[in-house]
Structure 1
Amino acid sequence: MARANATYYAGRDPFADFVTAPEISQIFGEILGAWVAVTWQAMGRPAPFRLIEAGPGRGTLMADMLRLLARVAPDCHQAARVHLLEQSPRLRAVQHAALAGRGAWPVAWHARLADVPEGPSILLANEFLDALPIRQFVRTADGWDERFVQGVGFVTVRAHDVPWGAAVGELFDRPVPLGEILEFCPEALAVAESVAARLSHAPGAGLFIDYGYDGAIWGDTLQALRDGQPAWPLADPGQADLTAHVDFAAFAAAARQGGALCHGSVTQGAFLAGLGLFARAEQLARGRAAAEAHAIRDAAQRLAAPDRMGRLFKVLALTSPGLPAPPGFQAHE
């Protein structure tokens, strides 16, 4: 999965296969921009601070956030130093074009979070964790088998390196029935630990938005999209987007182990609605032609309605010890 996705993002336009929330409506980026401004104030208004996005896609989310900050929170906009975590040279070029002139300071690109200078920071990751490679384990009567790719199919072999350890938390203690699959994403847990370590050394926050589950759940969630349609995950490696549902419970456990405070997860619908999604949609729709107003309202519903993205997508925040619950989470603490 790791090699196939690296090939996919390096050589194809992923947005031909799927559409992310920032591409659906500008309101998504505006709400997250406001979230950054309020969180920055709770951090003590550090200047400068690192505004980091992991997996920034076309740069749409960052562009929308910076536009909002420049308009309503100019001090925050001036203090922000934008850092993008992106490995694809092709996508870096797209992001550079989208962000030209948006920030008060030049944008910096990095392959990994460890390369971003230390200091106060706010990190956002929208549909980033789902693309990280997973391992699949199958419960047996006497332990675990691991499910591997071999050729154009799957095989299972006896697992000799089940990843026990504090970072995994109680993942392998879940009551998984015989024959069922338990998914484990080592890179997602490494991200949680890395962000937590950063937040332990300087004030900051992280916001993770993705589709997934929160709880002691199991099952095979590996899926592929090609040309906007479901595809067999093992067909034509590197030509489809491979993803898996994010295990937010395991991610939060790893972040807590690293010293961060965890808030949520909450559903994307509750998060966006609580921060003014529908009020902003009505404001934008007012005075527009009927078709345009309908498109604005429909985009808001697509982001938040339970039968669309509102329930499947979850939102989790990490903060430094001592910081209050960030916007969108106070009612759930």
Structure 2
Amino acid sequence: MTPLADIIAGRIRATGPISLADYMEICLLHPRYGYYSTRDPFGRTGDFTTAPEISQIFGEICGLALAQAWEDQGRPAPFTLAEIGPGRGTLMADILRVIAKMPGMRDAAQVTLIEASPHLRQVQCDRLGKVTHLDHADLLPQQPLFLIANEFFDALPIRQYQRVENGWAERLVGLGPDGLQFGLGLPMDLPRDGRPGDVIEECPLAPAIVAAVAGRIAQHGGAAIFVDYGGWNGYGDTFQALRHHRPEHPLANPGQADLTAHVDFAPLAGAAIRAGAVASRPRHQGEWLLSLGAAQRARRLTDAGDQGAQAALHRLTDAEKMGHLFKAMAIWPKGAPSVPGFDPLRHHADDA
């Protein structure tokens, strides 16, 4: 067992089985043994690779979309340029390089990163220089906000519920003869349909974060783009662990593997709309990137000597790679032009 597995087992012995959300939070953010607290998990030497690490094309397209939204909204200054879960700072570095070509935008941008990991905060400072770090989105300044979040929501703690004969039972982490194991709590009523064995997932933190972002955008202007893998009002057990770029059982090595789940974009859109902003229905990442010129950019990079640009474009946009699994969603103020590449959601907030 890992040191963190012993800590979790001790807690379960003392107070009983814990929710999946509690398990994820301990594994990812424990101050001494948590996954994000102790390592740089990105790239070939880590456990997974994100789109900004694959190619600069991704970050450049994101930067162009935010720059056009800034231009469309009258070039507000100053404004907050923020990223939630910025990893090694690669995406923000690419965005800053793009907006530097937009007259006045870089000088007006106050770069703010929302990051919980002390280790990654230092990595980001080494990469980007002086930036402002915040612990939570609700601490963002009350001013125009242009924000990006890539593969952030998938790592937030989730709760799972399984359909049983008398309703829904929460999936819990308890102890068995061989260590940590899954179990079910007592049946309860939930406002969801399902057949026996069906699993639904809820992420309590995600809508609140989106509401904080959308509230500032609705009041002060700006835009936000969220990119992650997931779907819309989905069912199913998507909880997974990744270690050294390979899947493993989520309870096998607490604190030493990345834990994620697919993002349900429906409650995120609903939270944004209820906060007073406009939300888009998510679209495939590949379609969004290509609609904003990713193929043309890849050709220019190839002509300039980047022999990996076409392979990177294929990985980012092909339906069998990241192109369909990953979705992009945007929010912007009422009355403002749409963020490039997105159309507004036509449903009421309660339906989103």
Map 1:122-271 to 2 at 5 A: 122-151=146-175, 152-159=180-187, 172-173=191-192, 175-214=193-232, 216-271=233-288
The reply to whether residue 316 of structure 1 matches residue 329 of structure 2 is: yes
Query: Structure 1, residues 64-114: CA drift from partner, whole Å, max 9, x if none?
Result: 1101111x21311111110000111111111111112xxxxx410011112
Kindly tell me: are residues 232 and 179 of structure 1, through their superposed partners in 2, closer, same or farther at Cα, counting changes over 3 Å? Answer: same
The structural deviation recorded for 1:176 is 2.3
* Uncovered stretches (5+) of structure 2, i.e. residues with no partner: 1-23, 347-352
Measure the CA separation in 2 of the matches of 1:220 and 1:254: 23
Change (3 A) 1:203 1:139: same
Alpha-carbon separation, structure 2, partners of 1:4 and 1:89? 16
Q: Contact 1:12–1:239 at 8 Å: present in 2 too?
A: no
Q: CA deviation at 1:159?
A: 4.8
CA deviation profile, 1:233-264 (whole Å, cap 9, x unmatched) = 01121110000000011221222222221112
Q: Which residue of the partner structure matches residue 68 of structure 1?
A: 98
Q: C-alpha distance in 1, partners of 2:131/2:282?
A: 30
Q: Identify the match of residue 3 of structure 1 among 15, 18, 26.
A: 26
For 1:64 and 1:113, locate their aligned partners in 2 and report how far apart those are by CA, in whole Å: 22
Structure 1 vs Structure 2 CA RMSD: 1.6
Q: Could you list the structure 1 runs, at least 4 aligned residues long, displaced by more than 3 angstroms after superposition.
A: 159-162, 330-333
Alignment-mate amino acid for residue 116 of structure 1 = L
Q: How does 1:54-93 map to 2 (within 5 A)?
A: 54-70=84-100, 72-93=101-122
- Aligned residues of 2:166 and 2:187 also touching (Cα < 8 A): no
- Structure 1: distance between partners of 2:207 and 2:61: 27
Give the number of the structure whose residues are more often helix, by fraction: 1
Distance 1:324 1:158 in 2: 48
Task: Please give the alpha-carbon distance, in whole angstroms, between the structure 2 residues aligned to 1:153 and 1:27.
Answer: 42
Distance 1:67 1:287 in 2: 17
Tell me whether 1:13 sits opposite 2:40 in the alignment.
yes
Whole-angstrom CA distance in 2 between matches of 1:247 and 1:322: 26
Distance across 1 between alignment mates of 2:247 and 2:107:
43
Corresponding residue for 2:17? none
- Alpha-carbon spacing, 1:117–1:182, altered in 2? closer, same or farther (3 Å): same
| 1:200 Cα deviation after fit | 2.6
Deviates more, 1:145-154 or 1:305-314: 145-154
Instruction: Provide the secondary structure at the position in 2 that maps to 1:81.
Output: strand
Partner Cα separation in structure 2 for residue 74 and residue 93 of structure 1: 30
Distance (whole Å) between structure 2 residues aligned to residue 127 and residue 90 of structure 1: 18
User: Which residue in 2 is equivalent to 1:121?
Assistant: 145
Partner SS state of residue 40, structure 1: helix
SS at match of 1:74: coil
Q: Is the 8 A contact 1:212 1:247 kept in 2?
A: yes
Structure 1: gaps spanning 5 or more residues: 101-105, 163-171
> Is 1:47 paired with 2:74?
no
Percentage of identical aligned residues: 47
- Once residues 138 and 228 of structure 2 are traced to their aligned partners in structure 1, the CA distance between those partners, rounded to angstroms, is 22
TM-score, normalised with respect to structure 2? 0.85
